[in-house]
Structure 1
Amino acid sequence: MLRTFATVLLILASLVGFVFSYEYAYHKISRVLTSSTDQVDQGAWAVKK
């Protein structure tokens, strides 16, 4: 009984960890993409000036 409970807990913990790491990676990538586009926009604005 305790063994199955521990196994379920382990699976849940790994799933939660995977989701958190995926979310973190997604936010990091989106932040990098938005910051790079911001830099491009600033460069275009500087060229327009």
Structure 2
Amino acid sequence: MSKIEINRITNANIYLDGTNLLGRAEEVKLPDVSMIMQETQGAGDGG
């Protein structure tokens, strides 16, 4: 499976608090993002 890389977003709507349209961005360059994985265990069967 090939790795998907997103480096920038073009012609994006910018929202304030997720509801109010603040404006449009011509281009937004994204920072490098790394994944953090954490292993967990269940507490038991429960039954």
Structure 1 length-normalised TM: 0.21
Greater helix content: 1
Greater strand content: 2
Structure 2 length-normalised TM: 0.21
